[in-house]
Structure formats: C-alpha cells, structure tokens
Amino acid sequence: MSATRVVVNLPDQRSYDVRIGPRVLDGLGRKVRELLPSCSHVAVIGDANVAPLYGARAKEALNQEGLSVTEITVPAGEDSKSLAVLAEIWQALASKKLDRSCCIVSLGGGVASDLAGFAAAAYLRGVACIHVPTSLLAMVDASVGGKTGVNLPAGKNLVGAFKQPAYVCADTATLATLPEREWTCGWAEVAKTAVLDSDEFFFWLDGASAQLRAHDDDAVREAITRCVVFKADVVARDEEETQDVRACLNLGHTLGHALEACTGYGTCSHGEAVAEGMRFAARLSAAVAGASLEFVQAQDELLDKLGLEPLPFSVPPRELLDCMHGDKKAHDGQILFVLPTDIGSWEVRPVADDVVLEHLDAWARSKEQA
C-alpha cells in the first residue's frame, strides 16, 4: 500500500509533506535530494535506543543518494532535552564542519525531534531539518508543527524556537519495536486530538480502540493520519500560537505537566499525566464552562478503553497549583486551561486559583476514596 500524504500548508513556500506508512524511511535520501538539492551532508540525531534499531537503515537510504552522513547519538529519555546535550550536538556538527547546506534529521521520539529541531534552528543561524518520528507520540504530534526546544531546571520546554521541518517521514514499521508503555503515551495524544476534533473521530477511536491496542496496522495508520490532518490544520491556522487556535493542543497538559514535574519525571508517563489532565479539565469544564456530565463520562470511557486508567495516587493540591503557576500556561498570574465544552469544542480561559484549588481538592479526595 502506498504511503499516505498529509500536507502542512504554510506561507512563503514553507509547506511540507508528512508521509505515513511502512518503509517510507527507505525513500529518505530521495526526499533530501528532491527538497534540498544543494545538500551533500546529513547529520542524523538519534537516541541510544532508536539509533541501533533504525540508524543503519536511515544511513543506507541517505548514502544511496550519495549523501554523507554523520551520526550523533544522544542518551534516550527526557534528560537529553537539555542545554548540555544541545551544546554537544552543536560541537559535533561544527567539528564535522557541516555548513549551511547541511540537513539535520531527527530519528526517534519527541525528545529527538524537539532537540534536533532546536539544534537545526540555531546552528549557523538555521539549517534545514527533517523528522523521522519513531514513537506514536512523535508521529501524531511532536514531529509536526515546528515547536522545538529543551528543558531548563525551572521547567519543561522553556527555551526553544519555531522551526518547521522540510519533511516528516513517519515510517509506521518502526513502531514494531515501540515499548507498550510508549504506545499508551501516544494514545493519550490521540484521544486528546479526537476530543478536540469531532464526534466522527471520537466515536471512530472509541470503536477502534481494541484494534488499536492490538496494533492493527491499518487502524494505527488511520489514527496517525487523522491526528496529523487535525494538527496540520491547526498549525496552518495558527503557526506560532498567536490566534488562540493552537493553544487547544494543550488540552490535558496544564495538570499533566504539573503532575509530571511534582512527581519527578518518569513516575508517571507523559501520556498518563495528560490523560489525567484531560479527566480533570473535563470536570473543571463541567463546573465552569458548561460541559455535560455525559461528555465527562464519554471521555472517561474512551481513556479507559485506550488503557489510560485514572492514576492511583494524588499530589498535594497546593504543590500542583504552584507548579502550574511556573508553567508557560500561566498568564497574568492566572492559570490557563483548555476546557472542552463538548466533543469538538473548547475554550481556552484563565481559571481563578480558588476554583482550581477546590477542584484539585476534590480530585485528591477521589484518589483517597478509590
């Protein structure tokens, strides 16, 4: 079956393709030749789990087209999204004397694409980049849309740049080696997209959940394609999050990021934290923005079906609130929430601290009773 193509439409000839399908990685070299005719050298930045699995295939595809390849491997995991690792990448690029005609390819999950994208945005004041996402989360979300960056001790993604890739090569065959917990992480972002998108996507996902959890190729590819189509549309309408459109993608992330930070990264996965944040946002929305209890329940059921059960523990509400204030999603001292008002509709609005605390208290109590 040929690959699915989704176009991210941007002004100034910056539109790019996202190709989704098995073995699209084999055509990577041809794509570089077609898109970047003056490029002769490609740096492939992969993480230590993914590079040994797919680095050779990426290199072969590039070498076949006469492109030189420098492989840069970074430790796997969120800790690599750091200024220190970024500096090592820049040093490695400079020591190989890569010039402005080079291209940086990320190979891995969202950590690789955020890191490599930022490296490309600033190296020699900007060189081309291409993403080869290999995690479900990176295929449905992180590799598309041009947000790149690294973490600071003060918080996640606090420094970065908008850097749109020239191409995204989502080879679904690479998902064969993705650990189960990482699949579940991806399902959280897929569920988020379905809630934001439409009844049609939501109920398709609900119906396909068993196939998806069994990694049925066609269903997985359809889920990825639907998410990329949604994200491409959002990015085309609000590339740099200045129009109150792109902010919807933070659904579940206000509480989600705070949970990750307060429990120490890795205690719960990003996906588990986002799913918990979606449950919280729906309840908050029922209280302040008119979401119905049927919606809250339908979303709970969808998350359950995708293996994203409620977290079994809580965190002191005050700690979570402080953490939310330190996040990029606080604005003028108030915490911003994406509140889904129904499937396919949402509001982004600040919520007063006392209201947030009241709901965090209820959330913490529900964990004690569970």
Based on CB atoms, which residue is closest to ligand NAD, 179 or 316? 179
Contact 316, 334 (CB under 8 A): no
Based on CB atoms, which residue is closest to ligand NAD, 226 or 270? 270
Provide, rounded to whole angstroms, the least separation between the CB of residue 294 and ligand NAD. Answer: 29
Please tell me which residue in 231, 283, 305, 359 is annotated as part of the active site.
231
231 is catalytic: yes
Based on CB atoms, which residue is closest to ligand NAD, 121 or 298? 121
Please tell me which residue in 59, 270, 329, 359 is annotated as part of the active site.
270
157 is catalytic: no
Please tell me which residue in 147, 226, 279, 359 is annotated as part of the active site.
147
Half-sphere exposure of 197 (CA within 13 A, CB side): 23
Location of structure tokens 């500096």: 87
19 is catalytic: no
Based on CB atoms, which residue is closest to ligand NAD, 164 or 299? 164
Output the six-digit token pair for 249. 């993608």
Provide, rounded to whole angstroms, the least separation between the CB of residue 76 and ligand NAD. Answer: 4
Provide, rounded to whole angstroms, the least separation between the CB of residue 368 and ligand NAD. Answer: 30
Please tell me which residue in 246, 283, 329, 359 is annotated as part of the active site.
246
Q: Counting runs of H as helices and runs of E as strands, what totals does the chain give?
A: 13, 12
Other beta carbons less than 10 A from residue 369's beta carbon: 5
125 is catalytic: yes
Provide, rounded to whole angstroms, the least separation between the CB of residue 140 and ligand NAD. Answer: 9
Contact positions vs ligand NAD (CB under 6 A): 47, 49-50, 53, 76-78, 81, 108-112, 114, 134-135, 137-138, 141-142, 145, 147, 157, 174-175, 177-179, 182, 185, 270
59 is catalytic: no
Q: For 326-352, b where at least 16 C-beta lie within 10 A, e where not — what string? A: ebebeeeeebbbbbbbbbeebbbeebe
DSSP 177-232: G--HHHHHHHHHHHHHHHHHH-HHHHHHHHHHHHHHHTT-HHHHHHHHHHHHHHHH
In eight-state DSSP terms, residue 306 is T
SS3 15: coil
Provide, rounded to whole angstroms, the least separation between the CB of residue 328 and ligand NAD. Answer: 11
> Beta strands of the chain (E only): which ranges?
4-8, 16-21, 41-47, 68-74, 103-108, 128-133, 147-152, 155-162, 167-171, 330-331, 334-342, 345-351
Half-sphere exposure of 186 (CA within 13 A, CB side): 30
Q: For 15-36, b where at least 16 C-beta lie within 10 A, e where not — what string? A: ebbbbbbbebbbbbbebbeeeb
Please tell me which residue in 182, 189, 222, 260 is annotated as part of the active site.
189
41 is catalytic: no
Provide, rounded to whole angstroms, the least separation between the CB of residue 116 and ligand NAD. Answer: 11
Based on CB atoms, which residue is closest to ligand NAD, 25 or 286? 25
305 is catalytic: no
Please tell me which residue in 241, 260, 272, 276 is annotated as part of the active site.
241
65 is catalytic: no
Radius of gyration of the chain (CA): 20
Contact 322, 261 (CB under 8 A): no
Based on CB atoms, which residue is closest to ligand NAD, 241 or 314? 241
Output the six-digit token pair for 302. 């969808």
Provide, rounded to whole angstroms, the least separation between the CB of residue 143 and ligand NAD. Answer: 8
331 is catalytic: no
Based on CB atoms, which residue is closest to ligand NAD, 142 or 282? 142
- Ranked by CB distance to ligand NAD, the top (closest) residue is 110
Contact 112, 47 (CB under 8 A): yes
Catalytic residues: 125, 147, 189, 231, 241, 246, 250, 253, 257, 270
